[in-house]
Chains A and B, each alone.
Chain A
Amino acid sequence: MSEVARESRRAGRLTASPAILLLLVWMIVPLAMTLYFSTQNYVLLDPDNRSFAGLENFSYFLSSDSFLNSLWVTLKLVGSVLAITVVLGVLISVLVDAQFPGQGVVRMMLISPFFIMPTVSALVWKNLLMNPVSGLFAWLFQLVGLTPINWFSDWPLLSVVTIVSWEWLPFAILIFVTSLQSMDQEQKEAAQMDGATPVSVFRYLTLPHLARPIAVVVMVEAIFLLNIFAEIFTTTSGGPGDATTNVPYLVYTQALLEFDVGTASAGGLVAVVLANVVAAVLLKVFGKSLTQA
């Protein structure tokens, strides 16, 4: 090995190792502890009474109705938000792609919700818009002669889905609009000259062009949506009943409300497995459009 190559390797190791070591510790230590705690009967309120539980925590957590329910809630939440943000995101991006007066302002307004902190958007929606007595929606409903909806008690999951979709729609728009700018305009004009309808231009030119950005949006959003917590914490606290308890919220209630470290750890590991399964499935489905540059 040449002197230069050796020097380069030394420099590379020296500069990369802090990040690698820190991330290794950040990943391995908590995971190992979670793994260990998940095999223990360990309740923080009674820490002396700790014993080996084997797989009891897992069988307790996995077979409980609340877990199956939270899994279902998680999938419905992630799935519907993904569908809503991708479909609306594509349509709105195509809509604002052309030149028109105030285009810059329109785009700024469209992406703004992405920068609002989740606790704020949750509370603004809950109190100022969706409140059944004094919210703006209630007033709009009365205006057209309808009975106002009690959103969070009658349609709890739909309410959460609405808020989260509002937060993530801007992300999809941001990515799609950027991608549309790099589209081949000549090809589009040629197709229009040949008499292609707007629908067929969308179907055969725009959608294929957006395949890769759609894959990116689905991957990035899925990672964040599996972890949705603040919106549920500040609006429904998982209720009514357990209608909006997703896996993160269920683990949180086990850990910091019931202080059941053992079960919470088992639940945490289940969440890790779930995230990896979802990631693997998504990579399988979307991986191709991601790797072909």
Chain B
Amino acid sequence: MPNLKQRRRAAETLRAILAWLVALVVFFPIFWMVVTSFKTELGAFTMPPEFLFTPTLENYREIMERNDYLHFAWNSLVTSGGATIVGMLVAVPAAYAFSFHPSRRTQGILTWMLSTKMLPAVGVLVPIYLIARQLDLLDSRIALIVIFALSNLPIMVWMIYTYFRDVPRDILEAARMDGATLLQEMTRVLLPVSRGGLASTALLSLILNWNEAFWSLNLTTTKAAPLSALVASFSSPQGLFWAKLSAISTLACAPIVLLGWASQKQLVRGLTFGAVK
């Protein structure tokens, strides 16, 4: 039946073309942002838009020279990295307890932990703001590290818990029989076998913290402000520097997009707590 075969091939080609079209439309704003970052300020504003132009690195050079990008990038790195480390240090032992030493209350505690994510940030904005002000922690990286770590803690515990559940109990018990202490059991036996899961948990935490904006905008001004707040400062009317905005945005997003691409499979598992495989 050559006719059927031909029709099938035509349908497949059509489908591939459609898929590419949809993907290009969805990706277009990101593509356009990167393109604009290589235009001059004047060129970024021109109508009709320039599709062919001589790319310039002027925007990137200027951002680097004014030194503000590096300052904000450093804040992003310290706050999201710091919060990830703090979160992991607390979440790993908790997930260990829930997976290997469960009690009757374990399921309840896990559910309760997740329910703290239902607490909208605005619900606690006023007290957190006042506490930070009282402790002289407004516009400080410490405050952001603590808040980021705590707000992601439930997700991290859950995610590591779903990975630990797959670790065979026997190897931990064998280590215990051989006289390993609690700390040795965790660092020498458990961590090496679950490296992949821990890495993707840390990655998800990094991504969420890096992109976070609510607390960054409300608790920082300049000293501790991360990139998401720097980008937001371009929303004021006097900030009509679109080529520079695009350049800063490209630099701010590139590392996270790359991380996201590299880890998409593990992210699904983490984001849905293994409910979707």
Which residues of A pack against B, CB within 8 Å? 8-9, 11-16, 18-20, 22-23, 26-27, 29-31, 33-34, 37, 92, 95-96, 98, 100-103, 105-129, 133-134, 136, 138-139, 166, 169-171, 174-175, 178-179, 182, 212-213, 216, 220, 223, 226-227, 229-230, 233-235, 247-248, 251-252, 255-256, 261, 264-265, 267-269, 271-272, 274-276, 279, 290
Chain B contacts for A103, CB-based, 8 A: 19
**Scoring B residues 110 to 131 as 1 if CB is less than 8 Å from chain A, else 0, what string do you get?**
0001001111111111111111
A11 and B97 within 8 A (CB): yes
- Considering the chains assembled together, what is the distance between the CA atoms of A133 and B229 in angstroms? 26
Write the nearest CB–CB distance from A32 to chain B, whole angstroms: 8
- Considering the chains assembled together, what is the distance between the CA atoms of A132 and B143 in angstroms? 39
Chain B contacts for A101, CB-based, 8 A: 16
Which residues of B pack against A, CB within 8 Å? 12, 15-16, 18-20, 22-24, 26-27, 29-30, 32-33, 36, 44-49, 90-91, 93-94, 96-98, 100-103, 109, 113, 116-131, 150-151, 153-154, 157, 182, 207, 210-211, 213-214, 217-218, 227-229, 231-232, 234-235, 240, 242, 245-246, 249, 252-253, 256-257, 259-261, 264-265, 267-268, 271-272, 275-277
- Considering the chains assembled together, what is the distance between the CA atoms of A26 and B77 in angstroms? 23
Chain A contacts for B24, CB-based, 8 A: 109
- Known contacts A102-B20, A128-B36, A268-B122: A182-B275 contact under CB 8 Å: no
- Known contacts A117-B252, A139-B47, A223-B117: A16-B109 contact under CB 8 Å: yes
Q: Which 7 A-B pairs have the closest CB atoms?
A: A12-B101, A230-B213, A19-B94, A33-B127, A30-B124, A16-B97, A15-B93
- Considering the chains assembled together, what is the distance between the CA atoms of A179 and B271 in angstroms? 13
A9 and B103 within 8 A (CB): yes
- Considering the chains assembled together, what is the distance between the CA atoms of A115 and B142 in angstroms? 24
Q: Which of B113, B218, B259, B264 is the one whose CB lies under 8 Å from A174?
A: B264
Write the nearest CB–CB distance from B190 to chain A, whole angstroms: 11
A14 and B182 within 8 A (CB): yes
Chain A contacts for B123, CB-based, 8 A: 30-31, 34, 268-269, 271-272, 275
A175 and B261 within 8 A (CB): no
